[in-house]
Amino acid sequence: MDVELRNRIYAWFVERGAGALARRRARREDAAAFQRLHDEHALVLEPRGTEIRMLNPFSVVPTAYRVEAGGRSWYGNCVWDAFGIPAALGVDGPHLD
């Protein structure tokens, strides 16, 4: 179930982008699964809440590693994640700023 939720979160993120995910909180029924995904390092939650901060290789918050890929801008958590973004999206890249 957690893997299914993780995959839904990734799909939702890719479709809507980082700004939308920044406002994505775990629904009450998913809160325990979000915490398990956080504990398993599948995503990173904000320190005091259920908002997603990182969904590797993507960062929900702006970083110095902005990538143009798939016709949109994305943030990586580090330079290595920035190289992984096009691969995660299945597009050519990266074009680092």
- What is the predicted pLDDT for the residue at 64? 95
Task: State the average pLDDT over residues 63-68.
Answer: 91
More confident residue, 16 or 80: 80
**Structural contact between residues 60 and 18, judged by C-beta atoms closer than 8 angstroms:** yes
Task: State the average pLDDT over residues 49-59.
Answer: 86
Judged against a pLDDT cut of 80, whether residue 47 lies above it is answered with yes
Average pLDDT over the chain, rounded to an integer: 82
pLDDT-derived band of residue 48, with 50, 70 and 90 as boundaries? confident
More confident residue, 52 or 50: 52
What stretches of the chain show up as alpha helix (H) in DSSP?
Answer: 2-16, 18-22, 31-39, 79-89
Burial class (CB in 10 A: 0-12, 13-18, 19+), 49: exposed
